[in-house]
Amino acid sequence: MPDNTFFYQAFVYLMAAVLAVPVAKRLGLGSVLGYLIAGVVIGPFGLGFVGQDGQDVMNFAGFGVVMMLFLVGLQLQPELLWRMRLPIVGLGGLQMVGTTALFTGLGMALGLTWQTSLAIALILPLSSTAIGVQTLTERGLMKTPGGEAAFSVLLFQAIAVIPILALLPLLGTEGAAAEPAANALAGWQQTLLVMGTVAGIVVGGRFLMRPVFRFIVATRLRESFTATALLLVVGITLAMELVGLSPALGTFLGGVVLAESEYRHELMSTIEPFQSLLLGLFFLAVGASIDFDLILAQPWLIAGLVLGVALLKCGVMLGLGALFRLGLSQSLLFAVALVQGDEFSFVLFSFAAQSRVLTEDVAGLLIAVVALSMLLSPLLMIAYERGIQPRFAPVAVPRDPDSITAQDDAVIIVGFGRFGQIVGRLLIANGYRITVLEHSPEQIDLLRRFGWTVFYGDASRLDLLHAAGAEQARLLVLAIDDRDKMAQVIHLAHKHFPQLKILARAGDRRHAYELIRLGVDAIQRETFSSALEMGIDALKLLGMRSYRAVRAARLFQHHDEQALYDQAVMQGDETALLARSRQLSQDLERLLQSDQQDLGHEGDRAWDVSSLHPSQKPTSQ
């Protein structure tokens, strides 16, 4: 089969993504690293399934980065950007200026000209928006102080690409300056063209696109809306390329302009599937395009450059983190999130070589450094998540159990969250006294502020149950989430306090089976009753009389509780359990249909609280 056909290439890239990414996620490596490794494996320096056309694939897949920035822009209303102006301009500006100054000085110290040093120093501080945002989002770190700081810097860097592109030709050699293109525009003409393009995006997005989308939506054809959304992104990309600017910046600006549009959510849901697929393809192409021949030819030099660039960038970020008072843990996250090179660095280094600021050899060497840094970044994030973050996590201060005076209350409640509080309030309202045991210090502090008497301690300790009055109590209510801890308490109660009736909260049906086998007196599945009440409301809204709806629900509850105990003995035998479930479902359907026959309406007023006089209706809590 020829390896240059479109369908062959598509099959190889999709197969690599399907096989590698789930494995990487299962191993805790994250999808970005999975894509990059898969790209290396299928690339010309791996199995060779894709050849030297990786750069062409990357140019196409880079459209995924463009779409991602469009979606980022859609989520940033202008008011939010204005509120973020200090971290964007302050933090982002200081990062660019500080890192650029360091790299320029280092380059000149190594004997490079100031033009070459400055060109390299302008490009190396840039960090990959695709990798940074994807990695932080996957790990739920985007809303942390370090994640927000990293996002602010990425936004500033996206804007900084414009002046960098404008400055690089000015740093070129005299020979390059003496050979302008025949169709090149004068400086002032290029400036006007750029300003006109940006103004066109802003004005068009604010005043033109809304009527267009309104017209498209009126057709009620979803595919037309999808085509229009893609046309918008492609059009902005093409316009920015024609004037020599960053397409990602243009689409980001277009997204911000449309962030206040009523079609924002529809645009996000339409673009996101394309963006995710193309972004994955971009990471695959990055992995496939890494030039391992160049790396193996100069391994120590490239390894030293990768390490040196990473250390310098991290050093600047840690300093800024301290300046902006992020704390050591968040400063480390801030540094790790931005340690990699930028996807636009490939373009910028190539452009610098064309402008004769860099030689082809130096540009190729730096492109390899950027690609390896992108491969290294997810590994550093894993190291941070597993080795650094736990060391800075808040350490729970050991706390001794509260001293409990002798209690003679009828009920002991273990766990006083939302579930346990409802049980406790109902018992107190009916004249019963309760003793509450809770294992979360934070929950105890909160409850005590509301006037509750709550004791801290582990209910699986026999001495604590004795102190709580388990010998005199009549009922033990278990309303905790920890199933192992619940089982330990049940064993203790059965052994030492046989008079105690035990009421336990079951997380789900299988947990209920386990509690039945442990000999619990009564079980309440935590969502069953509320779901049953919603079912009654559903039947009533569908036109069923109130009495019939309540009776049907009670029959369903009675049948389901019988089935629960019936199936508990089958736990572990999936075949028997499934067969019995199907039989019970059929029995229930026949039972309900039979019961609905010949029922009158005379009981409605007794069951339907909506028939009560307004003054008699129960008040909501």
Task: Kindly report the average pLDDT of the chain as a whole number.
Answer: 75
- Which comes out higher in pLDDT, residue 400 or 432? 432
With 0-12 / 13-18 / 19 or more C-beta atoms within 10 angstroms meaning exposed / middle / buried, residue 394 is exposed
Model confidence at 52, pLDDT cuts 50, 70, 90, reads low
Maximum average pLDDT range among 28-37, 203-212, 316-325, 507-516 = 316-325
Model confidence at 618, pLDDT cuts 50, 70, 90, reads very low
pLDDT at 528 over 80: no
Q: What pLDDT score does 606 carry?
A: 47
User: Cα separation of 446 and 435, whole Å?
Assistant: 17
Model confidence at 76, pLDDT cuts 50, 70, 90, reads low
pLDDT at 576 over 70: no
Q: What pLDDT score does 584 carry?
A: 59
- Which comes out higher in pLDDT, residue 103 or 418? 103
Assess whether the region 6-176+187-388 and the region 407-526 belong to the same CATH fold.
no
User: Cα separation of 421 and 430, whole Å?
Assistant: 14
What are the two backbone dihedrals, phi and then psi, of residue 189, each rounded to the nearest 5 degrees?
-70, -40
Tokens of 385: 């998540």
User: Cα separation of 535 and 528, whole Å?
Assistant: 10
Instruction: Please give the average per-residue pLDDT across 141-150, as a whole number.
Output: 84
Q: Which 3 state secondary structure label does DSSP give 84?
A: coil
Q: What pLDDT score does 232 carry?
A: 81
With 0-12 / 13-18 / 19 or more C-beta atoms within 10 angstroms meaning exposed / middle / buried, residue 381 is buried
Q: What pLDDT score does 398 carry?
A: 53
CA distances from 416 to 143, 440, 480, 597 (A): 29, 9, 8, 44
pLDDT digits 0-9 by tens, 202-249: 787 777 877 887 888 777 777 787 788 878 888 887 887 777 666 766
Instruction: Please give the average per-residue pLDDT across 8-15, as a whole number.
Output: 79
Whether 439 and 456 have beta carbons less than 8 Å apart is answered as yes
Maximum average pLDDT range among 196-205, 290-299, 493-502, 542-551 = 493-502
Please give the CATH number for the structural domain made up of 407-526: 3.40.50.720
User: Cα separation of 278 and 274, whole Å?
Assistant: 6
DSSP string, 523-536: EEETTHHHHHHHHH
Instruction: Please give the average per-residue pLDDT across 77-87, as a whole number.
Output: 70
Model confidence at 177, pLDDT cuts 50, 70, 90, reads very low
- Which comes out higher in pLDDT, residue 187 or 114? 114
User: Cα separation of 251 and 269, whole Å?
Assistant: 16
Model confidence at 620, pLDDT cuts 50, 70, 90, reads very low
Element (H, E) at 287: helix 264-289
- Which comes out higher in pLDDT, residue 390 or 496? 496
Model confidence at 616, pLDDT cuts 50, 70, 90, reads very low
- Which comes out higher in pLDDT, residue 58 or 78? 78
Q: What pLDDT score does 518 carry?
A: 85
Beta strands 522-525; 411-414: pairing state: unpaired
Cβ-based neighbours of 23, under 8 Å, separated by 6 or more: 34
Give the pTM: 0.55
pLDDT at 621 over 70: no
The domains of the chain are located at: 6-176+187-388, 407-526
Q: What pLDDT score does 182 carry?
A: 44
Q: Which of 85-89, 165-169, 294-298, 414-418 has the lowest mean pLDDT?
A: 165-169
Maximum average pLDDT range among 63-67, 286-290, 456-460, 493-497 = 493-497
Among 350, 354, 348, which residue's Cα sits nearest to residue 177? 354
Instruction: Please give the average per-residue pLDDT across 484-489, as a whole number.
Output: 87
- Which comes out higher in pLDDT, residue 550 or 175? 550
Contacts 24+ apart (CB under 8 A), 324-327: 324/87, 324/90, 324/91, 324/149, 326/145, 326/146, 326/149, 327/145, 327/392
Instruction: Please give the average per-residue pLDDT across 328-349, as a whole number.
Output: 81
Q: What pLDDT score does 546 carry?
A: 83
Cβ-based neighbours of 472, under 8 Å, separated by 6 or more: 407, 408
Maximum average pLDDT range among 78-87, 399-408, 548-557, 610-619 = 548-557
Q: Name residue, tokens 């990699």.
A: 340
Among 555, 505, 547, 543, which residue's Cα sits nearest to residue 527? 505
Instruction: Please give the average per-residue pLDDT across 135-142, as a whole number.
Output: 79
User: Cα separation of 223 and 220, whole Å?
Assistant: 9
Instruction: Please give the average per-residue pLDDT across 27-32, as a whole number.
Output: 70
Cβ-based neighbours of 375, under 8 Å, separated by 6 or more: 33, 36, 37, 40, 287, 290
Q: What pLDDT score does 404 carry?
A: 53
Q: What pLDDT score does 400 carry?
A: 52
Model confidence at 379, pLDDT cuts 50, 70, 90, reads confident
pLDDT at 586 over 70: no
pLDDT at 562 over 70: yes
What ranges make up the beta strands (E) of 163-256?
A: none
The distance of Cα 475 from the centroid of its chain, to the nearest Å, equals 43
User: Cα separation of 421 and 32, whole Å?
Assistant: 44
Beta strands 455-456; 522-525: pairing state: unpaired
Whether 437 and 459 have beta carbons less than 8 Å apart is answered as yes
Q: What pLDDT score does 422 carry?
A: 83
Q: What pLDDT score does 531 carry?
A: 81
Sheet holding 522-525, edge to edge: 455-456, 434-438, 411-414, 475-478, 501-506, 522-525
Whether 353 and 366 have beta carbons less than 8 Å apart is answered as no
Maximum average pLDDT range among 11-15, 331-335, 509-513 = 331-335
Maximum average pLDDT range among 11-15, 185-189, 291-295, 578-582 = 11-15
> What topology does CATH give the domain 6-176+187-388?
Na+/H+ antiporter like fold (1.20.1530)
Q: What pLDDT score does 615 carry?
A: 42
The three-point CA angle 242-240-248 to 5° equals 140
- Which comes out higher in pLDDT, residue 389 or 331? 331
Element (H, E) at 332: helix 328-337
pLDDT digits 0-9 by tens, 190-206: 667 767 777 887 787 77
pLDDT > 70: what percent of the chain? 77
Q: Which of 124-128, 130-134, 360-364, 582-586 has the lowest mean pLDDT?
A: 582-586
Instruction: Please give the average per-residue pLDDT across 381-387, as a whole number.
Output: 81
Q: What pLDDT score does 299 carry?
A: 84
Q: What pLDDT score does 183 carry?
A: 47
Tokens of 551: 């009776």
Tokens of 45: 């320096």
User: Cα separation of 402 and 478, whole Å?
Assistant: 19
Whether 128 and 315 have beta carbons less than 8 Å apart is answered as no
Q: What is the 3-state secondary structure (H, E, C) of 57-74?
A: HHHHHCHHHHHHHHHHHH
Q: Which 3 state secondary structure label does DSSP give 503?
A: strand
pLDDT at 174 over 60: no
Model confidence at 80, pLDDT cuts 50, 70, 90, reads low
What are the two backbone dihedrals, phi and then psi, of residue 294, each rounded to the nearest 5 degrees?
-65, -40
pLDDT > 90: what percent of the chain? 0
